[in-house]
Structure 1
Amino acid sequence: MINGNHFSLILLATNQCNAACDYCFEEPTHDRLSLDRLQIIIDKVLGHMDAHQIGALTIHWQGGEAMLLQPSWYVRAFELIRDAAAAHGKHVEHGLQTNLLAYNSDWNGIIAEMFGNSLGTSLDYPNLYRKLPGQSPEQYNTLWAHKVQMARAAGIDVKVISVLNQGTLEIGAESFYSHLVDELGIRDFQINTPFPGGETNKTKQNLSLDVSELARFHRELADIWLERGRDDNVQIGPFDQLIDYFSHRDACLPCIWGQNCADDFIAIDARGHVAQCDCWVTSYPEQRFGNLFEHDSLSALLNDSHAREGFTQRPVKLVQGDCLQCDYLAMCHGGCPVRTYSVHRSLFEKDPYCHLYQSLFQHLESRASQLAATART
């Protein structure tokens, strides 16, 4: 929480990337964050935390491609942040999201020390859009799988995000699950819906999926996971979180269903631009909150930002519409603002995947009840 006891920062330490994915919402630039500028960002973040009595910080390192900065840079960044946090009496944790294409054994030490020997990466199945410059998706897949194998051999826990596409719906949930879990050995992954963020192109114009077909795929994949994976320690987001939620256990639902993401996190890119998250900071310049290098403090930047007002007002606006009649408003909160904005160019509409969410909630609420009944017998 920005104003609770925890602060989440998505930090794009470089806007450079070594891939050429057709549907990427980021604007690639040659900007990289210097250690001097990192010090400025961290000092202002910690100052904001002091002002609001926030005790803990999680930094989610992304890009661009995070591994285009060398391991030695992260060693120095880790020390810089550790020392600054200690001076303010704050606790800091780090997470890493990377395409892994630049990974080699030189990374093992800092991944263990800074990132808890864990990282997140991404691969879609089938892969239609992730590519290396001038190469095919198949060549990307081959290199990515090799890098994942190397990381696992070094004892690194590799988690995966997979963005669904039309090909995914066509092959079906069984083939999708079998490829990721049985063939690739992925035990912890999250499925995401696509959105045409950033500058438009032909691929983005054709990213939209039939929501009814998407909902069917989610239900079928959830059933396969419940039957074959859940008891075998396979985790699929958001299914595992939803089963916990409907079973009245502690659950950390994805940010797309957050009460108000303006209260949960911000993103800062290598140029100092501040926005709601990585999906906004380079995709929609008109929605940036400001530039941290041009403000005396992060608190002042957030307080003075007209763009941020829209995010804070969104929950109130949505309950004035048909969201108020929904049984799941208290857990969905109108869905993801960036998915909304990419379709409607407004924050004050509900998520275009609303029907998908309702269908999935209903299905997993029923399955959670069935699991509870079985456990009692």
Structure 2
Amino acid sequence: MKASNYNYIIYQNNQSYWYNGLEHTYFKLPKDLGLKIERLLTDKERIEFIPKVLKDKLSASGFIVPDNTDELSIIRKRYCDSVNKKNYLLIILPTLDCNFKCWYCIQNHIPSRMSKSTMENVMTHIKYMIDVQNIESLQIEWFGGEPLMYLKQIIKPICEFAQKECEKKGVKYSTTATSNGYFIFPKNIPLIQKLGMTRFHITLDGPKQNHDKVEYQKGCDSAFDHVLNNINQLLSNTKAVNILLRINYTDENLNYEIVDQINHHITMANRGRITITPKKVWQEKVRKDRYKDIGELLNLFEQSGYNTIRLDVITNFVPCYASRKYYNAINFNGDVIKCTACNDLYENKTHGIIQNDGSISWNMDFIRKYEVKSFENKRCLQCKQLPICMGVCPRDNEYVNACKFDGMDINLEDSMVNYIDSMCK
């Protein structure tokens, strides 16, 4: 037996924290015991002297592996398995328009709306993926712009069609949305429930006083209050819906008062269906020391009854959903693209076209960028972070010395300690 190449052993607070990046397993031990075990792991011959119960636990968790184990081969296989999995994620953008105009948003909010003929093409494509490609599941993610501006006109007919087609073939169906939350009016909740929506990804821009400066709507006194009231009403009147609540932060708006402000609107019974994830606004400079403040903020949210994301790492061995074979995005005008976070949405050229039979014809120069294995370079292959990172965005693969963690406030070891502490209470 030998030690895994992807072990993290961290000593803090008189404890040893153990995390294996390949299997995403973890535990913690008193510091003295952790030091003794770590010393045994440094010598293959001494591993045999580890007590059997502990040795079996370390083996089952991936911290020690047989001598002939090629962990890079395991990573490559899991990458290929995940990329080729027939769980189809289809992002649909009914519009690029939005009722809010956030300063940091990467989207150009041009007035736009998906036409009836494009909707029919989308439906033909969905049927093709179910009947011909034999997908195992279909998740439709509504994106924009603000997709709920066209809940009844576009989302409803496409979802109803997809539900029926999936039911015919026994394909698992779900639909989710990335939204600013403004249009989740109480009158829309029955339709949201009928269409099978299971999750909304909604963003707050810091505490109320900050959020309302960034996101505002004519005739609405406070977008912050309005959106949170909508969320609470939605959760109170549904059983299957969950909320991923993203909190965009900057140096200016990173403030603990947001916890009490959210608590004021969300009843205790509904908090367990909300997951909090803080994200740095991309224009903000990286500051690794900011993670301590983020950790304390997450502590306060957990104490109030919410779920949190403390360790923001890759767990499915795919660096980006755009790398997946069974993923596509359809713009309001019918163009098929891969990335919704770049200029593909606005370029005056076609990347992919839905054919009459529902298949997609790609510009091969475009699609090849997303087939690149961005981790297949010397730096990534020698890096301990490989299985929890899997390389940069495929579009950025030319930057061979880039690392995605360099652009994040996350301090990886502090994040692991924070995560393990929260899971081992």
Report the TM-score, using the length of structure 2 for normalisation.
Answer: 0.65
Q: Does 1:210 align with 2:264?
A: no
What is the root-mean-square deviation in Å for CA atoms of aligned residues? 3.8
Give the drift of 1:132: 2.9
Kindly indicate whether residue 158 of structure 2 is the aligned counterpart of residue 77 of structure 1: yes
Q: Against the structure 1 CA distance between its residues 356 and 321, is the aligned structure 2 distance closer, same or farther, given a 3 Å change threshold? A: farther
Measured in 2, the distance between the counterparts of 1:147 and 1:100 equals: 7
Q: Which of 157, 168, 185 is the matching residue for 1:104?
A: 185
Alignment partners' CA distance in 2, 1:223 and 1:364:
13
Q: Give the match for residue 309 of structure 2.
A: 237
Aligned residues, how many?
334
Give the structure 1 partner of residue 381 of structure 2. Answer: 324
Give the deviation of 1:58 after TM superposition.
Answer: 0.4
Q: Is the 8 A contact 1:55 1:91 kept in 2?
A: yes
Aligned counterparts of 1:216 and 1:133: Cα–Cα separation in 2: 34
Q: CA deviation at 1:351?
A: 4.5
Supply the distance in 2 between the matched residues of 1:260 and 1:74 (Cα, whole angstroms).
Answer: 22
Give how far 1:324 is off: 2.9
Q: Indicate the structure with greater helix content.
A: 1
Find the partner of 1:363 among 389, 396, 414.
414
- What is the deviation of 1:8? 0.4
Aligned partner of 2:66 in structure 1 is none
Query: What is the CA–CA distance in structure 1 between the aligned matches of 2:187 and 2:205, rounded to whole Å?
Result: 27
- Given that residues 295 and 310 in structure 2 are in contact (C-alpha distance below 8 angstroms), is that contact kept between their aligned partners in structure 1? no
Is the 1:7–1:265 Cα contact (8 Å) retained in structure 2?
Answer: yes
Q: Is the 8 A contact 2:329 2:337 kept in 1?
A: yes
Counterparts in 2 of 1:236 and 1:55: CA distance versus 1, 3 Å: same
Deviation at 1:222, TM superposition (A): 4.9
Match in the other structure for 2:328: 266
Q: Does 1:132 align with 2:213?
A: no
Q: Do 1:96 and 1:119's aligned partners in 2 also have CA atoms closer than 8 Å?
A: yes
Q: Based on CA coordinates, which of the two structures has the bigger radius of gyration?
A: 2
Normalization by structure 1: what TM-score? Answer: 0.72
Instruction: Quote the residue 1:141 is aligned against.
Output: 224
**What one-letter code is carried by the residue in structure 1 that aligns with 2:329?**
A
Q: What's 2:111 paired with?
A: 30
Write out aligned runs for 1:1-377 (5 A).
Answer: 3-71=84-152, 73-86=154-167, 90-116=171-197, 118-126=199-207, 127=210, 130-132=214-216, 139-155=222-238, 157=241, 159=243, 160-169=245-254, 171=255, 174-180=256-262, 187-195=274-282, 207-222=283-298, 228=303, 232=305, 234-239=306-311, 257-258=319-320, 261-263=323-325, 265-280=327-342, 285=347, 290-293=351-354, 295-296=355-356, 300-302=360-362, 304-315=363-374, 318-336=375-393, 350-354=402-406, 356=408, 359-360=411-412, 362-367=413-418
**Counterpart for residue 204 of structure 1:** none
Q: Does structure 1 retain, via aligned residues, the 8 Å contact 2:119–2:154?
A: no
Which whole-Å deviations, capped at 9, do the CAs of 1:28-82 have from their partners, x for residues lacking one?
2332223442231232244245544322110011221112114365443332223
Secondary structure, aligned partner of 1:306: helix
State how far apart, in whole Å, the 1-side matches of 2:147 and 2:86 are.
27
* Partner of residue 198, structure 1: none
- How far residue 16 of structure 1 moved from its aligned partner, in angstroms, is 2.1
Looking at structure 2, the residues matched to 284 and 141 of structure 1 have their Cα atoms a distance apart, in angstroms, of: 30
Q: Deviations over 1:343-370 (max 9, x none)?
A: xxx565635543647623x234335555
Gaps of at least 5 residues in structure 2 are 1-81
Q: Distance in 2 between matches of 1:266 and 1:193?
A: 26
Q: Which has the higher strand share?
A: 2
List runs of 5+ in structure 1 lacking aligned partners. Answer: 196-206, 246-250
Distance 1:73 1:180, change over 3 A: same
CA deviation profile, 1:238-275 (whole Å, cap 9, x unmatched): 54x76xx9xxxxx669x7x4487344622111111222
What secondary structure is seen at the aligned counterpart in 2 of 1:168? coil
1:203 is aligned to: none
Assess if the C-alpha contact under 8 Å between 2:205 and 2:247 holds in 1.
Answer: yes
Aligned residues of 1:6 and 1:56 also touching (Cα < 8 A): yes
Identity %: 14
User: 1-side partners of 2:223 and 2:148: how far apart?
Assistant: 16
- Give the distance between the partners of 1:355 and 1:36, measured in 2 at CA: 41
Change (3 A) 1:132 1:219: closer
Distance 2:121 2:170 in 1: 18
Take 1:260 and 1:347, find their aligned partners in 2: how far apart are those partners?
Answer: 18
Q: Give yes or no for contact 2:286–2:408 (8 Å, CA) kept in 1.
A: no
